Amino acid sequence: MTGTLASFWTGSPLGTIEYISALSFLETGHSLVLYVIGDVGNIPPGIEVRDAREILDTGKVVTYRKTGSAALHANFFRYALFTKTDFTWVDLDIVALRTIDTSAPYIFGYERSDTLNNAVLKLPKDSAALQELLKFKSDTRGYPPTVQGFRRFKYMVKSLGFGVHIRDWPWGATGPRALTHFAKKSGEISHAQNMDVFYPIPFRDAWRFAKPDELNFESFPEETRLVHLWGKDLRTILRDKYDGQIPSGSFIDIARKRYSQR
């Protein structure tokens, strides 16, 4: 059963990867709502655009202090999304191969044998893990829930016991690591899909999406529904190895040609 997917974007027009991703969701039968802050351009036709402040209004976009990335805000946003809609969250660095059944109350999967990812996510409103994730706020000071032992002690010393501002927490501390931690704690991790469903290529192999003649749409198992491209890493690879261009014959090129015909 197809359903509505949702994502968030701010700060710049959609790039090629995001454009291809959005089109792939439409092509596989889904509706996509893109929540935005600011004037976001290059949005494909057929995408419903809404003001992100309908879901979460923090006054300004919350970014990681070190990198300026809005990925932190996107984590807060997706958790708030589940309290106000029945939509399924998707990152915009995913290529859809097949339709996903969004009628299930839980949708998430393993990116590694012991770690979940939140690039594809749906949680019911009464989820115990969701209630914990919703405690992350833009002004939170403390320590990442997965940081324990000597590392936690170092955080405490560094912050003089006052807690580290959430903008200075490590990448993923409010995302995949937190989701994994709280889903294990609540037992909801039993709903996780195996790696082949959403994350058939691990992040360390993101280069395979850019290498010509390495992957195509037939390269993945039948159970694969979506393919996460690890956009942050892939963009770096494209910049450093291919002068920012998409190589002909690469998986990204194949996807672009398939979905640009829509």
- 158 in a domain, yes or no? no
Q: What is the pLDDT of residue 74?
A: 97
Domain that holds residue 73: 4-138+187-259
- Structural domain total, the chain: 1
Please list the residues that pair with 6 across neighbouring strands: 33, 89
Nearest to 122 by CA among 92, 99, 102: 102
22 residue type, one letter: A
pTM of structure: 0.93
The b/e string for 228-261 (b: 16+ C-beta within 10 A; e otherwise) is bbbbebbbebbeeeeeeebbeebbbbbbbebbee
What is the rounded CA–CA span in Å between residue 10 and residue 18? 12
- 159 in a domain, yes or no? no
Q: What is the CATH number of the domain that holds 62?
A: 3.90.550
Q: What is the pLDDT of residue 113?
A: 93
Q: What is the pLDDT of residue 163?
A: 74
Q: What is the mean pLDDT of each run of 10 residues along the chain (262 residues)?
A: 87 94 96 95 95 94 91 97 97 97 96 96 98 95 76 67 82 93 98 98 97 97 97 96 96 93 55
- 49 in a domain, yes or no? yes
- 93 in a domain, yes or no? yes
Instruction: Find out whether 93 and 166 touch, Cβ atoms under 8 Å.
Output: no
Report the side by side order of strands in the sheet with 115-122. Answer: 48-51, 31-37, 4-10, 88-90, 115-122, 107-112
- 19 in a domain, yes or no? yes
Please state, in angstroms and as integers, the Cα–Cα distance from residue 50 to each residue in 37, 55, 70, 108, following that order.
9, 10, 18, 24
Record the tokens describing residue 111, joined without a space: 């990116």
Q: What is the pLDDT of residue 260?
A: 76
Q: What is the pLDDT of residue 164?
A: 82
Please state, in angstroms and as integers, the Cα–Cα distance from residue 125 to each residue in 18, 130, 149, following that order.
28, 7, 32
Cα torsion angle, 79, 83, 85, 86, sign = positive
Please state, in angstroms and as integers, the Cα–Cα distance from residue 31 to each residue in 28, 48, 88, 102, 228, following that order.
9, 8, 10, 11, 19
Please state, in angstroms and as integers, the Cα–Cα distance from residue 134 to each residue in 53, 77, 113, following that order.
16, 10, 25
Please state, in angstroms and as integers, the Cα–Cα distance from residue 208 to each residue in 19, 89, 104, 229, following that order.
20, 25, 31, 9
Q: What is the pLDDT of residue 145?
A: 82
